Structure 1
Amino acid sequence: MKKPKITITLVDQKGTCGCHRGHKIGDSFDFDTERGALCPMAMHVAFPYIDILRYGGNLPTGKDGDFRFCCPDADVINIFKLETSE
């Protein structure tokens, strides 16, 4: 089974402080080649979802038709979108 390509994109910010890692809306990361560039706190949240996708599972879609997760920093609350492609 070929593993899908995973892209993580910052799509929104709900908190009152800027990202401590310097991420901005529109930043996008390839999980295989750029995961070290993503904030470790966000990666910690993303990893279980990525694992599900990598092994053939599906994630629930939100109101925008995609899957999103939040940065765990309550002052920042970056919103990331996960996308897969072959």
Structure 2
Amino acid sequence: MKPRIKITLVEKKGNCSCHRGHKAGDTFDYDDDRGILCPMAMHVAFPYIDILRYGGCPPKAKNGEIRFCCPDSDVINVFKIEKVEEKS
């Protein structure tokens, strides 16, 4: 079974609002919330998801989190991505 992936919008750096209405604090489950998260952000997230699901470790930010940015230069939403450990 593939691990669950949680994506959280943690910061906004651009001057414009998100075209999909995403705001800091919004959280998405990769498997359950497809179609809700902006497709442009999802396009950037996918390599990180793939790396996490298959045992790799993507580059980390200075604070130790795995982060990526929305590719829209007017918006620049910053997302944190993490693998959710299942409790046994």
TM range (shorter): over 0.9
Aligned pair count?
85
Q: How far apart are the structure 1 equivalents of 2:21 and 2:8? A: 14
Q: 2:70 corresponds to which letter in structure 1?
A: C
Unaligned runs of 5+ in 2: none
Q: How far apart are the structure 2 equivalents of 1:37 and 1:66? A: 23
Cα deviation 1:16-75 (Å, max 9, x = unaligned)? 000000000000000010021000000000001101111111112211111100000000
Question: Aligned to 1:16, what secondary structure does the other structure show?
Answer: coil
Aligned positions of 1:1-86 closer than 5 A: 2-86=1-85
Determine what percentage of the aligned residue pairs are the same residue: 71
TM-score by length of 2: 0.92
Unaligned runs of 5+ in 1: none
Q: How far apart are the structure 2 equivalents of 1:80 and 1:5? A: 16
Q: How far apart are the structure 1 equivalents of 2:44 and 2:84? A: 21
Runs of 4+ in 1 over 6 A off after TM superposition: none
Q: What is the RMSD computed on CA atoms of the aligned residues?
A: 0.8
